[in-house]
């Protein structure tokens, strides 16, 4: 499958960021738990982690809507752009 240069760059950024995040998260987990992940019963944790992920995704969806509303308010001159940026920083 052929991709554009921009698509290749985007993929490279995603892969790089994922690798950085996974490395950091794994190391923190090893430091906290001191056990080998491949020797841990993971199944009991999967449901809890999945529910956490769903809660974060649904909350992020709400936060994006709040940011969009602030952008509309700025566009309509109902709020100062600097104030909107502060509010966005507090949301995200």
Average pLDDT estimate for 61-72: 97
**What is the rounded CA–CA span in Å between residue 15 and residue 6?**
14
What pLDDT does residue 91 have?
Answer: 94
Do both 50 and 89 map to the same domain?
A: yes
Do both 30 and 52 map to the same domain?
A: no
- Model confidence at 73: pLDDT above 90: yes
Instruction: Return the higher-pLDDT residue of 12 and 41.
Output: 12
Do both 27 and 54 map to the same domain?
A: no
pLDDT one-digit tens code per residue, 23-61:
999 999 999 988 899 998 899 889 999 999 999 999 999
Do both 34 and 45 map to the same domain?
A: no
pTM: 0.72
Do both 23 and 55 map to the same domain?
A: no
48: containing domain: 41-92
Total count of domains within the chain: 2
Residue 92 neighbours by CB under 8 Å, 6+ apart: 63, 67
């Amino acid at each position: 499958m052929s991709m554009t240069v921009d698509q290749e760059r985007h993929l490279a950024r995603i892969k790089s960021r994922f690798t950085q995040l996974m490395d950091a998260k794994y190391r923190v987990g090893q430091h906290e738990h001191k056990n080998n992940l491949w020797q841990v019963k993971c199944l009991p944790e999967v449901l809890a982690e999945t529910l956490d992920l769903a809660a974060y995704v649904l909350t992020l969806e709400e936060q994006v809507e709040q940011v969009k509303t602030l952008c509309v308010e700025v566009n309509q001159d109902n709020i100062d752009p600097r104030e909107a940026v502060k509010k966005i920083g507090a949301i995200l």
